[in-house]
């Protein structure tokens, strides 16, 4: 609904201001000053001003009555306000003529001319307000939609992060616990080492969950290192691990579990599928004004057993939501075998929760 209900004081000031402005037209006519002395000109102007005040009072009454109507669109506002002013001005001039203030017989053309003048001013004013109100509403609606979009994107990112956590944890946890139990019976020392790595992994995982969707590259790599230490013991020497990450990059911001998902894919679909195992190398480099992290494996490559692709799809969606076109996930072949998965995103040192 259009918020157009006019306060009486505002309507009165508007009506009287228009009446005074219209009366000044009398003073800007050259023939008036050429044919009459200034005192008669002033007297004539005061008469015109008095008639204008009468018109303003009639218009004021029409506006106050019309403002009680429930208008629901800017167009209705323009039409009703213009019509109210026209009716008020028309009745005022008719009353002046019938009262003999103007002299002579009532003239419909004269009444129409003065009524149209008032209606034109009112129509322009109402149209200006209507356009302003419509623009304000459109801007407010756009801001509300933007806020809703941001909230939905935040919910989407949280859902994608939870999906990544669910993807990494269940089978890995059960298989690791089964391996710990087996090694405890056959190789107690190796079982104790695996259990220590597993506790490091759980500690890193819990810290990641407290941090939400962002962590630092260093903490993400700590989680990956603990995960690969567990996998290396389970694979009995068939997995080699290497990290090549400059110390100054450890504090840069990074979305949680993205590297962990790439490493988990490399283990599951690359190294596990290879009879001889292989190597996983994690590298990080500054790339222009961004940072690039690559996970390279020497497994069976793209010809190996493929998964559902949910993890990679979630990473791409999260990068797009968080960084737009500046967040990129690429998959390439690795030499001499395997896959290179890399993430490139803007470099940032945003502070994260401890």
Contact in structure between 294 and 329 (CB atoms under 8 Å): no
| 280 has a pLDDT exceeding 60 | yes
Q: What is the reported pLDDT for 339?
A: 93
Q: What is the token pair recorded at 340?
A: 């290179």
Question: Measured between alpha carbons, how far is 243 from 12 in angstroms, rounded to an integer?
Answer: 79
For residue 278, list its beta bridge partners.
239
- Give the pLDDT of residue 256: 83
pLDDT digits (tens, 9 = 90+) for 165-203: 555 556 666 677 677 777 667 777 777 877 787 787 777
Has residue 106 got a pLDDT over 80? no
* Interstrand relation of 328-333 and 339-346 (parallel, antiparallel or unpaired): antiparallel
Give the range among 188-192, 274-278, 297-301 with minimum mean pLDDT: 188-192
Residues in the chain: 354
Judged against a pLDDT cut of 50, whether residue 59 lies above it is answered with: yes
Map out the domains of the chain as residue ranges. 8-144, 187-346
Which residue has tokens 């502070």?
351
* Per-residue tokens: 313: 């799809």
Residue 337: the pLDDT is 87
- pLDDT of 74 > 50? The answer is yes
How far CA 101 is from CA of 29, 50, 94, 98, 219, in Å, comes to 22, 10, 10, 8, 91
> Across the chain, what does the average pLDDT equal?
76
Reply yes or no on whether the pLDDT at 354 is more than 60.
no
Q: Do residues 235 and 278 make contact, with C-beta atoms less than 8 angstroms apart?
A: no
Closest by alpha carbon to 164, among 257, 45, 286, 100?
A: 257
**What pLDDT sits at residue 319?**
87
Give Cα 37 distance to the centre of its chain.
68
Question: Which pLDDT score, from 0 to 100, does residue 1 have?
Answer: 47
Closest CA to 193 of 176, 208, 205: 176
The predicted model gives 250-269 an average pLDDT of 89
Model confidence at 293, in pLDDT bands (50, 70, 90)?
very high
- 1-10, 45-54, 129-138, 231-240: which has the minimum mean pLDDT? 1-10
Distance of CA 47 to the CA centre of its chain: 59
Give the Cα separation of 266 and 332 in Å (integer).
13
- CATH of 187-346, picked from 3.30.565.10, 3.40.50.300, 1.20.1630.10, 3.40.50.970, is 3.30.565.10
Task: Please state whether beta strands 328-333 and 290-297 pair in parallel, antiparallel, or not at all (unpaired).
Answer: unpaired
More confident residue, 346 or 130: 346
């Amino acid at each position: 609904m259009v918020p157009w209900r006019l306060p009486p004081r505002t309507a009165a000031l508007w009506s009287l201001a228009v009446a005074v402005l219209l009366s000044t037209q009398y003073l800007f006519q050259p023939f008036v000053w050429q044919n009459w002395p200034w005192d008669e000109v002033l007297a004539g102007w005061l008469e015109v001003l008095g008639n204008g005040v009468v018109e303003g009072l009639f218009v004021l009454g029409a506006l106050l009555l019309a403002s009680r109507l429930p208008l629901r669109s800017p167009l209705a506002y323009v039409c009703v306000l213009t019509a109210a002013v026209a009716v008020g001005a028309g009745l005022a001039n008719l009353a002046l003529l019938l009262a003999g203030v103007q002299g002579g017989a009532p003239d419909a053309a004269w009444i129409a001319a003065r009524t149209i003048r008032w209606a034109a001013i009112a129509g322009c004013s109402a149209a200006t307000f209507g356009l302003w109100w419509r623009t304000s509403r459109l801007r407010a609606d756009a801001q509300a939609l933007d806020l809703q979009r941001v909230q939905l994107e935040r919910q989407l990112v949280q859902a994608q992060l939870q999906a990544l956590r669910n993807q990494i944890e269940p089978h890995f946890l059960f298989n690791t616990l089964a391996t710990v139990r087996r090694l405890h019976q056959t190789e107690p020392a190796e079982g104790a080492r695996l259990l220590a790595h597993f506790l490091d992994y759980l500690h890193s995982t819990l810290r990641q969950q407290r941090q939400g969707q962002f962590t630092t590259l260093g903490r993400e790599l700590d989680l990956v290192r603990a995960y690969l230490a567990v996998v290396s013991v389970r694979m009995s020497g068939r997995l080699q691990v290497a990290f090549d990450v400059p110390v100054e990059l450890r504090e840069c911001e990074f979305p949680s579990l993205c590297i962990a998902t790439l490493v988990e894919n490399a283990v599951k679909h690359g190294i596990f599928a290879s009879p001889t195992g292989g190597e996983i190398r994690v590298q990080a480099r500054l790339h222009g004004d961004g940072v690039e992290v690559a996970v390279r494996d020497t497994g069976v490559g793209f010809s190996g057993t493929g998964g559902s692709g949910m993890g990679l799809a979630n990473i791409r969606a999260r990068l797009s939501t968080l960084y737009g076109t500046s967040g990129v996930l690429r998959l390439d072949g690795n030499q001499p075998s395997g896959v290179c998965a890399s993430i490139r995103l803007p470099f940032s040192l945003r502070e994260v929760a401890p």
